[in-house]
Amino acid sequence: MAVIWVIAEPNGDGTLARISAEAATLARGLAEASGGSATGLAVAADAKGIAAELAAYLPKVIAVSDAGASGHSWAAVAAERAASVIGEGSDAVVLIGAGPDGRDVAGALSALTGLGVLANATEVSWSDDGPTAETAAFGGKLLTTSQFVGGSGIVTVRPNTTEAATATTAGAVEEIKADAEPVLPRVRIVEQVAEAGAAAPIEEARVIVSGGRGVGGPEGFALVEEIASVLGGAVGATRAAVDSGWIPYAQQIGQTGKIVKPELYLALGISGAIQHKVGMQTAGTIVAVNRDPDAPIAEFADLLVVGDLFEVGPALVTALRARAG
Amino acid sequence: MHIVVLTKPVPDPVAAAERLGPDNRLDRAASPAVVNGNDEYALEAALKLVDALGGEVSLLTMAPAGGTDTMRKALAMGAARGVIVTDEVLAGSDTWSTTQVLAAALGQLTFDLVLAGVDTSDGVGGVVPAGIAALLRLPYLGNAAKIEPDPDSGTVRVRRLTTSGYDLLEAPMPALVVCTQALGEPRYPSLKGIMAARSKEIVTRSLADIGLDASAIGGASALTVVKATKRPPAREATKVVRGTPDEGAAAIVELLAARKVI
Ligand SMILES: Cc1cc2nc3c(=O)[nH]c(=O)nc-3n(C[C@H](O)[C@H](O)[C@H](O)COP(=O)(O)OP(=O)(O)OC[C@H]3O[C@@H](n4cnc5c(N)ncnc54)[C@H](O)[C@@H]3O)c2cc1C
Ligand SMILES: Nc1ncnc2c1ncn2[C@@H]1O[C@H](COP(=O)(O)O)[C@@H](O)[C@H]1O
């Protein structure tokens, strides 16, 4: 019987990341479908707190406290402790987020355990051969359905794959002290720096309002932000806007930025270059405001409003506010 | 300062001419290749470091035999030499095999730093570098926006981007660093660089050369299998609205309401 593991990823403040709550909800579903069990795994300097949070979603969570997890880069510590709990060459299925931390853990865990990796799943189901993951390749131009040879392995899961839902009863937390000598080098954190303007991760947003070169400058992004706030969404950008220093790199969408799949993607002053398109083309609804009716985005948007974003944008804010009453 | 940059040839995302083989895996020989975009940022970062500190940049690639052509493009940017691991059994490798191969090949090289890209535009796994670091027991510094090696103390400091800002990490070298675009725009190869690249050394290694057993690695040993592929459903035709700003805004509101976004 398969054990579906979920590795708890911490937010900056040590609380449970939303992606892990989603992965845990997914794991519960897979355990039910497979007749197996779903177990959480939390690694932190003091793992009780985050383990208890994860236990809201799973029948059982193992909390591995390792003093070295504080003051050191988390992923290597977590991967190593997870490898010893899960075991080498085991028949486990491991779910973890597809963000930077999750990828780092998945890569190291694969190397330590010999488990394969299916990356960036947008959907995971169960079949007789184990988990089946849907992923997109070549920037969304191709959708693939993949499995593990032998049925066990590590799946990195994209945000918004599952809606997080707690279990009817909270699970049990089992505590383990990690005292085995670490084999992976631990990388010291000299300093943690918070930067102004750091926004919520755009990968998780339901609505993204993005600005490109057409926004013209940081002042123009004030309009983008206003529209985003009226829609309850996050702000994204093209590389042209990021390279111009108008908005942080964390907000960049595309080939070398984030890949997002919001319900609504509103593109302002964005031409829709292929490197930007690969980051957002799977959005539910794509709306573009562009002066140029022949911009490439005209080929894949649901709605193109031909016009000046500095005229259409304020009109949109007024219309949305009027509608909200 | 000796830096090895991991560069992967990927099908050109702009040409969009990827070909699949009968096993649903990319037919790399038939798809026009470029250097993976994210690896160019890593290469640029490496070149800047040796420009400032002295030393040499070399490239390591696992690719089919045709990989030399793509590697010349990276050599033209300024890397000194390259190693390509190529072997028939490697076609269809998964990330686990790729990790084993690159780690074994790195084991035969000397370096202060290994730089890699955040992910590849074809597979978008982003898991290979962390696996290599784990196998080689190298300090792993991911998501780097700034890399500052200190040859005197033999340590490297890296700004690792986080959701709220960055962590300043420090580790002894040799170490493996994963590079983001925040490190700066890749240079264009100069004509001189392109000419010089033609005569730069590219060493080809087989699995046996790097001490790996061909029966336990590569496509036949892949731990994952692609069962089916399909094209995403075509989007509906674009509705184009011209008119006053108010009419444009009204069209947006109408669509969002119809789709229950608002
Ligand atoms: C290796 C590589 C990786 C890349 N990765 C990325 C990536 O991750 N993300 C990314 O976004 N790009 C990426 N790019 C860059 C990409 O090729 C484009 O250059 C970029 O996306 C263009 O950004 P843009 O649409 O903002 O600017 P432009 O292409 O300049 O488009 C601006 C648009 O705004 C319109 N406009 C101007 N003024 C107004 C106005 N007042 N009202 C309405 N419309 C107006 C114009 O008609 C135009 O269509 C990458 C490129 C390379 C080579
Ligand atoms: N076949 C390969 N040859 C050289 N480097 C690679 C190869 N595959 C992956 N890499 C490196 O690992 C990074 C992440 O790749 P991936 O995990 O496959 O998305 C890439 O940006 C490269 O730097």
- The finding on whether B129 has its CB within 6 A of some atom of ligand 2 is yes
Q: Rounded distance, CA B7 to CA B79, Å?
A: 11
Task: Over range A192-207, report the average pLDDT.
Answer: 78
Is the CB of B251 less than 8 angstroms away from the CB of A189? no
Q: Rounded distance, CA B185 to CA B102, Å?
A: 26
* Predicted pLDDT at A258: 87
* Predicted pLDDT at A89: 59
* Predicted pLDDT at A198: 54
On the question of pLDDT at A119 being above 70, the answer is yes
Picking from A109-113, A183-187, A222-226, B226-230, which range would have the lowest pLDDT averaged per residue?
B226-230
For tokens 């510094």, what's the residue? Answer: B141
Contact B20, B229 (CB under 8 A): yes
Q: What is the pLDDT of residues A30-77, one digit of tens each?
A: 999 999 999 999 999 999 999 999 999 999 999 999 999 999 999 999
Q: Which residues from chain A sit within 8 angstroms of residue B170, using beta carbons?
A: 187-188, 190
Task: Over range A180-203, report the average pLDDT.
Answer: 85
On the question of pLDDT at B198 being above 60, the answer is yes
Within an 8 Å CB–CB cutoff, is residue A249 touching chain B? Answer: yes
* Predicted pLDDT at A16: 97
State the complex-level ipTM: 0.90
Q: Measure A214 CA to ligand 1 centroid, in angstroms.
A: 8
pLDDT confidence band for A197 (50 / 70 / 90): low
CA of B88 vs chain A CAs: smallest distance (Å): 21
* Predicted pLDDT at B30: 66
Which residues 187-206 in chain A show a CB within 8 A of chain B?
Answer: 187-195, 198, 201
Task: Over range B185-191, report the average pLDDT.
Answer: 93
* Predicted pLDDT at A196: 62
Task: Over range A104-110, report the average pLDDT.
Answer: 98
* Predicted pLDDT at A155: 98
On the question of pLDDT at B145 being above 90, the answer is yes
Q: Which residues from chain A sit within 8 angstroms of residue B174, using beta carbons?
A: none
Atom of ligand 1 nearest to the CA of A211: 26
- The finding on whether B126 has its CB within 6 A of some atom of ligand 2 is yes
Q: Whose CA is nearest to atom 8 of ligand 2?
A: B8
C-alpha neighbours within 13 Å on the C-beta side of residue A132? 14
Beta bridge partners of residue A118, listed in sequence order: A155
Q: Which residues from chain A sit within 8 angstroms of residue B121, using beta carbons?
A: 138-139, 255, 278
Q: Which of A117, A131, A122 is nearest to A33 (CA)?
A: A131
Is the CB of B95 less than 8 angstroms away from the CB of A316? no
* Predicted pLDDT at A69: 92
* Predicted pLDDT at B112: 98
DSSP states of A161-221 as a string? Answer: SS-----SS--EEEEEE--SPP-SPPPEEEEEEE-TT--S-GGG-SEEEEE-GGG-SHHHH
pLDDT confidence band for A152 (50 / 70 / 90): very high
ω before B174 within 30° of 0 (cis)?
A: yes
pLDDT confidence band for A137 (50 / 70 / 90): confident
Task: Over range B85-91, report the average pLDDT.
Answer: 95
On the question of pLDDT at A199 being above 70, the answer is no
* Predicted pLDDT at A248: 87
Nearest residue on chain A to B99, judged by CA atoms?
A: A111
Q: What is the pLDDT of residues B29-52, one digit of tens each?
A: 666 789 999 999 999 999 999 999
Task: Over range A217-239, report the average pLDDT.
Answer: 95
pLDDT confidence band for B59 (50 / 70 / 90): very high
Pick from A194, A249, A307: CB nearest B164: A194
Picking from A108-122, A133-147, A309-323, B31-45, which range would have the lowest pLDDT averaged per residue?
A133-147
Q: Answer with the residue of higher pLDDT: B28 or A259.
A: A259
pLDDT confidence band for B231 (50 / 70 / 90): confident
